Structure 1
Amino acid sequence: MTSSDAAKDKFYEDLHALLATVPKEDKLIVLGNFNARVGTDHAAWQGVLGPHGLGSSNDNGLFLLQTCAEHRLLLTNTFFRVLTREKATWMHPRSWRWHLLDYVLVHRRDRQDVLVTKVICDADGWTDHRLVISQMRLQIQSRRRPQGPVIFLLFCGAEGEVCQLCTDSVREVVRAKAIQPQTLLHVTDNPVAAKRQFQMFVCLCDAQQYHT
């Protein structure tokens, strides 16, 4: 069944809006029957269409290619050299010609994650489209927990040298531990207390590194 131009426009508007909400660093896998023939002109669609497309293109295929180019996606089905019967997903009922209409899309930077995308010829999916599988090797990196505030203590003792000693020491600790400090001014006129508080600061730094 052929959709109206208005329905196609609405579909791609919705798809654009949805893709725009996906964080760039996230893994993204898009699967579906796009009723799109993308053809074989991979030279014109570098990074989107691979060298192993199938047949000619149509208007739906152009829509899909443009969408992939805008969102830096690629058509994984077209990047693997497999037999036509393992690539084509639908046969036209009158011409009996096979076409590639169902795709698996990923971000271009994740191309190496995809081991193969192909058709399972004998799978029964209660549909006139063949089942497409994509084998991937995903390495999911957990997001870093946001760091809590790191306290940067400046100790101002009764004697100027105590303040200078502690301030220099704080700088050394921050530099050695690669910690980005936030500043909190703490004033004391007791050199012993100043040094004790500095030792507490070092402990805070150690704890912060341990939990990140």
Structure 2
Amino acid sequence: MTMRLPLSKDNFATIISVYASTMTNPDENKEAFYSQLASVLSGIHRTDKLLLIGDFNAMIGRENHKWALVMGKHGITKCNSNGELLLALCSEFELTVTNTMSKQKDERKTT
């Protein structure tokens, strides 16, 4: 879903809500999803404030030195194939994975 909202005279916000392919889908499906999303992002006005939200089924890992402009230093877990695709997309469109900018509570249970 894409929505463009007026903020003021010549300022707009575009909100894109997505649900990505799950990790069990074939790589072709995942790549098709990110390709379609890149196509949508290409059509967004460069001056718009952009919010890309949703469930990306992605784990982007902790290697923030490779993605310094995309993620902060608080990534968790290991990167999966959806994470790699998400990081590449964010890099291409100068987006940031915001939940990596501040420390998150680790709610995983250990036994």
Shorter-normalised TM-score: what interval? 0.7 to 0.9
Read off the aligned partner of 2:94 and give its amino acid letter. Answer: R
The match for 1:80 among 61, 84, 102 is 102
Say whether 1:53 aligns with 2:81: no
* Deviation, structure 1 residue 62: 0.5
What letter is aligned with 1:3?
N
CA distances 1:82-118 after superposition (whole Å, capped 9, x unpaired): 3223xxxxx7xxxx78xxxxxxxxxxxxxxxxxxxxx
- In the alignment, which of 44, 51, 73 is matched to residue 22 of structure 1? 44
How many residue pairs are counted as aligned between the two chains?
88
Shift of 1:34: 1.0
Query: Identity of paired residues, percent?
Result: 35
Equivalents in 1 of 2:90, 2:104: separation in Å? 22
> How far apart in 2 are the matches of 1:82 and 1:4?
30
Rounded Cα–Cα distance in structure 2 between residues aligned with 1:15 and 1:25 = 18
Deviations 1:13-63 (A, max 9, x none): 110000001111101101111111100111110110111111111111111
Deviations 1:149-198 (A, max 9, x none): xxxxxxxxxxxxxxxxxxxxxxxxxxxxxxxxxxxxxxxxxxxxxxxxxx
Kindly provide the amino acid, as one letter, of the partner of residue 77 in structure 2.
Answer: G
Structure 2 residue corresponding to 1:63, chosen from 78, 81, 85? 85
Larger relative contact order, structure 1 or 2 (CA cutoff 8 Å, min sep 6): 2
In the TM superposition, what are the counterparts of 1:88-167 in structure 2 within 5 Å? none
Separation in 2, partners of 1:82, 1:32? 18
Amino acid across the alignment from 2:40: L
Q: Secondary structure of 1:36's match?
A: coil
Q: Distance in 2 between matches of 1:60 and 1:36?
A: 5
Larger Rg: 1
* Structure 2 counterpart of 1:41: 63
TM-score, normalization by structure 1: 0.39
* Offset at residue 78 of structure 1 (A): 0.3
Specify the SS of the correspondent of 2:58. coil
Partner of 1:18: helix, strand, or coil? Answer: helix
**Structure 2: unaligned runs, 5 residues or longer:** 1-21
Using the size of structure 2 for normalisation, the TM-score is 0.73
- SS for the counterpart of 2:49 is coil
Give secondary structure in 1 for the equivalent of 2:65. coil
RMSD: 1.7
Q: Displaced runs of 4+ in structure 1, greater than 6 A?
A: none
Q: Which runs of 5+ in 1 are unaligned?
A: 86-90, 98-212
Higher share in helix: 1
